[in-house]
Amino acid sequence: MNNRKIDNMRETQVRFFLITGMVLILFTVTGCGPSPADLAAVDYTPLPGDNWEVSTPEAEGLDPLLVAELYYEAAQLDRIYSLLVVKNGKLIAEKYFHEGSIDQQNNAQSVTKSYFSALVGIALDQGCLSSVDQTLLEFFPEYADQIDDPRKEEITIRHLLQMRSGYPLEESHPDLADRFFGGEGNWLPLIVDFPLTSDPGTKFQYSNFSSYLLGAIVSRACEMDLKEFAEAYLFDPTNTELGEMWQDDFGFYYPNLHATARDQARFGQLYLDDGVYNGEQIIPAGFVHDSLQNYTQDPPAAINRRNYKRSAYGYQWWEVQTGDRTYESAQGHGGQVIALVDEHDMVVVLTADPFWLQWGDEHWENEKANNYLVADFIASLPSE
């Protein structure tokens, strides 16, 4: 067979691959992923503004090509709002996409759970709470006579923090979902009405209601509106701003606060720094340590794959396994992420469309894509 015939056959094969959509096979011939020129064109320079100290990946000992590839891949996602990387306490990369902006106070969705956990730690430090082993009904005695399941008398703050209260995932039953997400504004009576599906302390069950109760407990114990408490003891001392929060008819707050990406990065850095900001202990160091421990190994999780696995759960924080390392992560519906990489003194923050009150394939695909993006980047980091 002569060379011209061989060349013609190769051309025919490439056309066949293009027509049939066999992109992966074609890429094995032509190469895949961003080219050096593509990566060189990526700009992730932090924007000017507020009190973040700015640096570069090189100055902080990080390969800039890894960061460029992260932002190149992020640009392919159509519902992402922001992506920030902080290393050694310095903002080294920042970019906003689509509807996102530096001033946008996005709905953090279930990332809020990690904030509510922090407020419990602060309430302990302030003396409002004496122990995470105080019981739920100690703070809501008006419901004690209505309880027909004695196991509810055993539920503690610790159980709520660990998602081991016995209250189920709201979506586990249509009646529970309707009551919880129906917008009636009366979540507190669910203490009585929601049936337990396991004994307290025995089983992990992801529960939005448990997080709501944590906020209500802090408010009751400290005799203070929860948003005002958060501003006074968490947000103001860290030079950050708390955005909108939604109250129910009882004056308690849903676990859905709004904050900018930079302020969420500051919250993540606070945990890397053992609760200290500018020399001031904001969250007790012991509580930070306890929050990032593993109380449930391999909790049920809808999003698992080779490079991303929710491997454990602490006090309203996930542990994620990626490659040969793990990291702690606050995560929210739609793919909101605050990732803590202690080995690299790094925080990665991603905000995105929160898909408020939306469920379905589209939100899951976006949520997975966002989490995979962060996990793949963290897996690519060299060991230190």
Mean predicted lDDT score pLDDT of the chain:
89
Question: Taking 60 as the threshold, does the pLDDT of residue 352 lie above it?
Answer: yes
Task: List residues bridging with 95 in a β-sheet.
Answer: 83
Q: Which of 8-22, 133-147, 228-242 has the lowest mean pLDDT?
A: 8-22
Could you tell me which residues are beta bridge partners of residue 135?
156
Q: Which helix (H) or strand (E) holds 86?
A: strand 80-87
At 370-382, the pLDDT tens digits run: 999 999 999 999 9
| Structure confidence by residue, pLDDT tens digits, 311-342 | 999 999 999 999 999 999 999 998 999 999 99
pLDDT above 90 for 10 = no
- DSSP for 43-85, written as a single string: --PPPS-TT--B--TTTTT--HHHHHHHHHHHTT-SSEEEEEE
Can you read off the two tokens belonging to residue 191? 């203490």
Local confidence band at 32 (pLDDT 50, 70, 90 cut-offs): low
Predicted confidence (pLDDT) per residue in 70-104, tens digit:
999 999 999 999 999 999 999 999 999 999 999 99
DSSP string, 182-203: S--S--TTHHHHSPPSS-TTS-
Angle at 257 between CA 229 and CA 268, to 5 degrees: 85
**Any residues with CB less than 8 A from the CB of 323 and at least 6 apart, and which?**
307, 378, 379, 380
Of 232, 164, 228, nearest to 199 (Cα)?
A: 164
How many C-beta neighbours within 10 Å does residue 264 have?
A: 28
The stretch 115-143 carries a mean pLDDT of: 98
**What is the percentage of the chain residues whose pLDDT exceeds 70?**
88
Fold of 35-111+237-384: Beta-lactamase (3.40.710)
pLDDT value of position 118:
98
pTM, full prediction? 0.90
Write down the pLDDT at residue 259.
98
Q: Could you report the per-residue pLDDT of 256-287, keeping only the tens digit for each? A: 999 999 999 999 999 999 999 999 999 999 99
How many Å apart are CA 227 and CA 241, to the nearest integer? 11
The model's confidence at residue 26, banded by pLDDT at 50, 70 and 90, is very low
Residue pair 34/69 in contact (Cβ under 8 Å)? The answer is yes
Q: Locate 340 and state its tokens.
A: 């803590």
> Would you tell me how many other CB atoms lie within 10 Å of the CB of residue 121?
25
What residue ranges do the domains of the chain occupy?
1-32, 35-111+237-384, 129-222
179 close to 219: Cβ distance less than 8 angstroms: no
Give pLDDT tens digits for 198-214: 999 999 999 999 999 99
Give ∠ CA 19-23-29 in degrees, rounded to 5. 110
25 vs 14: CA distance, rounded Å:
9
